[in-house]
């Protein structure tokens, strides 16, 4: 597993945990920062996980607006928490991180959904992110 794939998993843990506990992403990052310092062997994935989490937090309004626009028939508040976190990460990579090719951002998000949510969620994530990628090009 690549360092970026591990970072995406860590970012998902942060975003999902913050949403589930109704805490701020900044608080979740602070907690994880302490843990990252205590576990230097995991440091290779921490920086990008932090970048994703901060990016999602900084662009939350724009990201959520894209979700509301492209998640046909699924208001953001009705989405499962894990799916919402995955879609937010995928959108951040698609729209706000030009270093990540669209296909990679979508494939990684779909894989996270397949692994941590349901097969239906993987299709949902793929559809939402695909529509956004198409609209951005």
Diameter over CA atoms, the chain: 43
pLDDT per residue as tens digits for the range 81-133: 999 999 999 999 999 999 999 999 999 999 999 999 988 999 999 999 999 99
List, as own/partner pairs, every contact residues 131-134 make where C-beta atoms lie below 8 angstroms and the sequence separation is at least 24, other chains included: 131/70, 132/66, 132/70, 132/91, 132/94, 132/95, 133/94, 133/102, 133/105, 133/106
pLDDT per residue as tens digits for the range 34-85: 776 667 676 667 889 999 999 999 999 999 999 999 998 888 999 999 999 9
pLDDT per residue as tens digits for the range 4-45: 899 999 999 999 999 989 888 888 888 877 776 667 676 667
Q: Based on the structure, what is the number of domains in the chain?
A: 1
Structure letter (DSSP) for residue 72? T
**Which CATH number covers residue 58?**
1.10.940.10
- 3-21 and 25-38 helices cross at what angle (nearest 10)? 130
- 60-70 and 119-136 helices cross at what angle (nearest 10)? 100
Domain that residue 12 falls in: 3-136
């Amino acid at each position: 597993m690549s360092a970026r794939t591990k970072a995406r998993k860590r970012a998902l843990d942060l975003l999902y945990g913050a949403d589930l506990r109704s805490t701020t992403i900044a608080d979740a990052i602070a907690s994880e920062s302490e843990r990252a310092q205590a576990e230097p062997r995991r440091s290779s994935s921490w920086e990008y996980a932090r970048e994703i989490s901060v990016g999602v937090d900084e662009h939350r309004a724009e990201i959520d607006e894209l979700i509301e626009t492209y998640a046909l028939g699924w208001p953001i508040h009705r989405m499962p928490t894990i799916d919402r976190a995955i879609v937010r990460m995928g959108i951040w990579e698609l729209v706000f991180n030009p270093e990540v090719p669209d296909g990679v951002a979508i494939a990684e998000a779909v894989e996270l959904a397949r692994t941590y949510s349901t097969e239906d969620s993987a299709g949902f994530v793929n559809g939402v992110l695909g529509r956004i990628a198409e609209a951005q090009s």
